[in-house]
Structure 1
Amino acid sequence: MPDPETDLETRIARLEAESDIRRLKARYLNACDAKDVDAIRACFTDDAVIDFPPIGEFGLDGLIDAFTQMAATTPIVDVHQGHNAEIEVEGDAARARWNLGYATYDPRAGSFRLLANFYNDRYRRTAGGWRICYTRSEPRAIVDGVLAEDGIKANWVAG
């Protein structure tokens, strides 16, 4: 009897799922940078839980509301970069840990924030493909700063 861990079809299916999840996370991060709320919504299950300390825990509508307000009212520019994915697939469920590098810039004040954190995500395979059903951001380092005429002023906020 073939070992399920070495069965070629099982291994290929797991690799395809991992690839799909990587593309999903890339779509999500790119949609965040573009403040594309429809694309953000499409990355999640309807019952998704978002846990972003110190902001708190909320559902998908809370995340969409935040991005809708930013897109409509601010010229803020964001860059989300997810790296070093550790993905574990078990059937129609998966978990992943990502290292996120994040930078945001507000040209109105010349202010910026640099953030290093881990994302701990859970995914569910749906009829429409893999979707994020839970995400938790764990900040590791936060630096806030301002671009001033006499140079950059920055403060280590947390970490």
Structure 2
Amino acid sequence: MKLEDLVAKLEALEKQVEVLRAEADIRRVQARYMFLCDTPCPEAGADDDAERINRIMELYTEDAIWEGVGSYYDNQFGRMVGKAAIRKHFEGFWGTKRDPALVLNVHYLTSEQIHVRGDEADGQWVHCQPWIFSDGSSLLRSSRLNNAFRKENGVWKLARTRTENVFVAPLTSGWAESIPEKSVLMRA
């Protein structure tokens, strides 16, 4: 094999490895976002809503966009541009006492597609999440996600979170048992 052929093969392999690393990093960013949004929050030290929001905001670019789209989510979520607006959105969700209170919310991701283009990428997922409230009411929510990512200073971050409703379905009261009051998963 000629030296130039070997160099070309190594360069191609290096580009493939870069894409695979980017996909893995993006997958971790998206999963971490969902993990931090779970209730009760399973991450040690993120029991406090302000700390949870701080950790979520670390995942976003300064100019990020968070938006709900489609006839159902346009009115429910709207569009926030920039970290300050996104933070305010999360403070409105976790910073207010709800009646009935949210006692369980878990995010499940599926149908993943990630497309990397240099230092930018997009990813699509279908996400499903059960919600259980303190009054015993429950619902199952499903959404499609079409998110954008950008690599900044060697770190992949969310540049856009875009979510569209697929369905919301009521669940029968009492369908789940043994609901934890708090998570101890990542505590020593």
Do they fold alike, i.e. is TM over 0.5? Answer: yes
1:157 aligns with none
Q: Distance in 2 between matches of 1:75 and 1:101?
A: 16
1:50 aligns with 66
Q: Distance in 1 between matches of 2:25 and 2:15?
A: 15
- Of 17, 35, 39 in structure 2, the residue corresponding to residue 30 of structure 1 is 35
In the superposition, the TM-score normalised over structure 2's length comes to 0.69
Would you tell me which structure has more strand in proportion to its own residues? Answer: 1
Q: Which structure 2 residues correspond to residues 1-159 of structure 1 after superposition, within 5 A?
A: 2=8, 7-33=12-38, 34=41, 36-52=52-68, 53-54=73-74, 55=76, 56-59=78-81, 60-69=86-95, 74-107=101-134, 109-127=135-153, 129-145=155-171, 147=173
Is contact 1:31–1:40 with CA below 8 Å preserved after alignment? yes
- Shift of the alpha carbon at 1:139? 0.9
Bigger mean CA offset, 30-39 vs 134-143 = 30-39
Is contact 1:37–1:67 with CA below 8 Å preserved after alignment? no
Would you tell me which structure has more helix in proportion to its own residues? Answer: 2
Structure 2: unaligned runs, 5 residues or longer: 42-48, 176-188
Deviations 1:54-104 (A, max 9, x none): 32111422332134325x654432101112210000011000101101111
Is contact 1:28–1:40 with CA below 8 Å preserved after alignment? yes
Amino acid aligned to 1:87: I
Q: CA RMSD in A?
A: 2.3
Indicate the structure whose relative CO is greater, using CA pairs within 8 Å and at least 6 residues apart. 2
Larger Rg belongs to: 2
Is contact 2:136–2:173 with CA below 8 Å preserved after alignment? yes
**Deviation above 6 Å: which 4+ runs of structure 1?**
none
Is contact 1:86–1:96 with CA below 8 Å preserved after alignment? yes
In the superposition, the TM-score normalised over structure 1's length comes to 0.81
Deviations 1:33-69 (A, max 9, x none): 1262122111111221111123211142233213432
Is contact 1:18–1:89 with CA below 8 Å preserved after alignment? yes
